[in-house]
Structure 1
Amino acid sequence: MSDSNRTNFTNPSSFILLGIPGLEAAHIWISIPFCAMYAIAVFGNFTILFIVKREPSLHGPMYYFLCMLAVSDLVLSTSTLPKLLSIFWFNSREISFSACLTQMYFVHSFSGMESGILMAMAFDRYVAICHPLRHSTILTNSVVVTIGLAVVVRSGILALPYPLLVRRWPYCRTNIISHFYCEHIAVVNLACADISINSYYGLFDLLSVIGMDVFFIAMSYTQILRAIFCLPTKDARLKTFGTCISHLCAISALYIPDLFSSLMLRFGHNVPLHVLILITVVYHLVPPVLHPIIYGVRTKQIRGRLIQLFTHKET
């Protein structure tokens, strides 16, 4: 019997996702806020892309990076939330092995991409405040494209080992994943092999992406604050710092849930599994929902164009 089970699961054709184990009775009710948040995220990010495309005055480095952030938010949330909702609504728990690996790759790739884009936006704020007269000559279109490509390539390459490592292990225990998506550790924990390399690579990826990005963001804002404190009047300091508020809110929306989720997954051994999974869902939903709201409310050009768009439709 043991040998038979091992043969059946060595190369599983599919996995079974449980959604949020322990809260099966409440899946329908939980789906309502999640579905609403996902709809807001899709509508908000598509609105940002539409407004930036239609408004020539927004064709600049900051808004190009904002569009990249919107695209990554859309892909990241769409990689996981539709499957979660299908589990809640249709009990569609099966996911093929190849689809599982693809989902895992997209989640890790676009999570790293979001972090890299926020680092690029911090560099844009640094140049705009510390070298305002050279902003257009430093951040030319070609430089913006180069930065964007570097962020995409870095994220794509560093996310590649996740599915490759998962694919190489034999699976002889079960094909049931106690999660709502193919989370890396949740999948490799099913393997009948030493998965230490997976844990080590996950830590390396975290430090090399998030660690490096946070370091450069902190360096950028150190220089920004120095420049702001050198301004002659309080009004000038507040006005200049106000141009950074949207970006600081976007950073908080990404890194605070990410940090909280990572700490809970690593050290919250006594925390119920459904609580840990709910925290992960929040991490996947909060940044895509908040980013367009933050920039829509805080950015005068986007807010003005949005108001103009709706008032024009009403008339």
Structure 2
Amino acid sequence: MSSCNSSIPQPLIFVLAGIPGLESFQGWFSVPFFLVFVVTTVGNATVLGIVRIEKSLHEPMFLFLAMLSAVDLSLVTVTVPRMLGVFWMNAKEISFNACLTQMFFIPIFYVMESGILLAMAFDRFVAIWYPLRYTTILSNNMLVKVGLAILTRAVAVLTPAPILAKRLENFQTHIIAYSYCAYMALVKIACGDISDHIVYGLMVIVASVGFDLFFIVLSYGLILRAVFQRPSWEARGKALSTCGSHLCVIALFYSPVVFSVLAQILGYHMAPHLQIIIDNLYFLVPPMVNPLIYGARTKQMREWVLQIFHCCAE
């Protein structure tokens, strides 16, 4: 419940505070954010280019990886430039409609990434349980359907966010204590009963990240069961090695969410500026590291990257 003794009507312009409490250090924060943006853009663009050019990578696992890279590029594009504008040029003002647009697209790409990780877990499940039917089950037609299902779910789950936010009439302040427009950050400065918004936020988490994580764990439970039924340790190691990259990406993506939920359950309250920094890392670190993980563990990609560096050096 949020109440106000003196409230302001819905403002046309909001102000993004950046990282409250660390205003004097925001210029320094912009440097790693900018470097992350550059590395993320180059890394994911390289993955997309290699998957497109290298015909041996035109199989479900790498096509899902291309989807992941496309979503990661989109996520940092709608997030980081606004942050850098706040940190570098003090461009803190954002119109209400632009704020609604950003709070719609940022979580959409995040939910889509979660859905793609689930699809990649299913890919590994099919590859290990039904290797002879792998290309039949995960045909190009099926991949298109999976991609459309991931997009449709994200849009359906997150379309209510800007609609509900638009209905908020009175606010305690026009300052949003974030470096981008986040739904719950906007709701927290609203006046009146916000319980419906809190329930909706929890439903989004359960219907997307919670749902995906449950079935990813289930998939890998079945994968481990199949792997340890194989007769030799060599066969087991070979099967598990194909899942290594995906498991690293999953751990990187879901760890902050799990940590945040556990911290709230256990009653641990972080300092606001630390919470904001961690929230920013949700959207920055996985898109940067994902192509590095797959590039390091995939022979074809390593060869292409080395070839690109060799050509640049000549």
TM-score normalised by length of structure 1: 0.94
Partner in structure 2 of residue 104 of structure 1 = 103
1:138 and 2:134 matched = no
> 1:265 Cα shift?
6.3
> 1:309 Cα shift?
2.7
2:288 match: secondary structure:
helix
Residues 116-125 or 206-215, more deviating: 206-215
Question: Residues 29 and 120 from structure 1, CA distance in 2 versus in 1: closer, same or farther, beyond 3 angstroms?
Answer: same
Q: Deviations over 1:80-130 (max 9, x none)?
A: 211111111111100111110111001111111011000000010011111
Work out whether residues 126 and 221 of structure 1, in 8 Å CA contact, stay in contact via their aligned partners in 2.
yes
Partner in structure 1 of residue 122 of structure 2 = 123
> 1:314 Cα shift?
3.5
Output the CA distance in 1 between the equivalents of 2:228 and 2:69: 32
Instruction: Work out the number of aligned pairs and report it.
Output: 310
> 1:19 Cα shift?
0.2
Question: Residues 266 and 107 from structure 1, CA distance in 2 versus in 1: closer, same or farther, beyond 3 angstroms?
Answer: farther
Partner in structure 1 of residue 203 of structure 2 = 204
Output the CA distance in 1 between the equivalents of 2:52 and 2:269: 48
Output the CA distance in 2 between the equivalents of 1:54 and 1:239: 27
2:94 match: secondary structure:
strand
Output the CA distance in 2 between the equivalents of 1:267 and 1:171: 32
Q: Letter of the aligned partner of 2:28 in structure 1? A: W
Work out whether residues 263 and 269 of structure 2, in 8 Å CA contact, stay in contact via their aligned partners in 1.
no
1:246 match: secondary structure:
helix
Partner in structure 2 of residue 85 of structure 1 = 84
Output the CA distance in 2 between the equivalents of 1:298 and 1:183: 35
1:22 match: secondary structure:
coil
Residues 243-252 or 80-89, more deviating: 80-89
Partner in structure 2 of residue 15 of structure 1 = 14
> 1:171 Cα shift?
2.3
Question: Residues 270 and 205 from structure 1, CA distance in 2 versus in 1: closer, same or farther, beyond 3 angstroms?
Answer: closer
> 1:302 Cα shift?
1.4
Partner in structure 2 of residue 28 of structure 1 = 27
Q: Deviations over 1:21-45 (max 9, x none)?
A: 0111111111111211121111111
Q: Deviations over 1:265-290 (max 9, x none)?
A: 67666422111111111111111111
Work out whether residues 170 and 193 of structure 1, in 8 Å CA contact, stay in contact via their aligned partners in 2.
no
Partner in structure 1 of residue 151 of structure 2 = 152
Partner in structure 1 of residue 233 of structure 2 = 234
Work out whether residues 261 and 283 of structure 1, in 8 Å CA contact, stay in contact via their aligned partners in 2.
no
2:193 match: secondary structure:
coil
Work out whether residues 44 and 70 of structure 2, in 8 Å CA contact, stay in contact via their aligned partners in 1.
yes
Output the CA distance in 2 between the equivalents of 1:209 and 1:231: 33
TM-score normalised by length of structure 2: 0.94
Partner in structure 2 of residue 281 of structure 1 = 280
> 1:227 Cα shift?
1.3
> 1:154 Cα shift?
0.2
Work out whether residues 265 and 276 of structure 1, in 8 Å CA contact, stay in contact via their aligned partners in 2.
no
Partner in structure 1 of residue 59 of structure 2 = 60
2:103 match: secondary structure:
helix
The unaligned stretches of length 5 or more in structure 2 are 1-5
The unaligned stretches of length 5 or more in structure 1 are none
1:307 and 2:306 matched = yes
Q: Letter of the aligned partner of 1:77 in structure 2? A: V
Output the CA distance in 1 between the equivalents of 2:203 and 2:159: 13
1:114 and 2:110 matched = no
1:95 match: secondary structure:
strand
1:77 match: secondary structure:
helix
Partner in structure 1 of residue 223 of structure 2 = 224
Q: Deviations over 1:198-246 (max 9, x none)?
A: 1001111111111211121112111111111112211111111000000
Partner in structure 1 of residue 174 of structure 2 = 175
2:180 match: secondary structure:
coil
Question: Residues 261 and 80 from structure 1, CA distance in 2 versus in 1: closer, same or farther, beyond 3 angstroms?
Answer: farther
Partner in structure 2 of residue 39 of structure 1 = 38
Work out whether residues 103 and 182 of structure 2, in 8 Å CA contact, stay in contact via their aligned partners in 1.
yes
Calculate the aligned-residue CA RMSD, in Å. 1.7
Output the CA distance in 2 between the equivalents of 1:70 and 1:194: 39
Question: Residues 164 and 66 from structure 1, CA distance in 2 versus in 1: closer, same or farther, beyond 3 angstroms?
Answer: same
Output the CA distance in 2 between the equivalents of 1:248 and 1:77: 22
Q: Percent identity of the aligned residues?
A: 47
Work out whether residues 295 and 301 of structure 2, in 8 Å CA contact, stay in contact via their aligned partners in 1.
yes
Q: Letter of the aligned partner of 1:226 in structure 2? A: R
Work out whether residues 257 and 283 of structure 1, in 8 Å CA contact, stay in contact via their aligned partners in 2.
yes
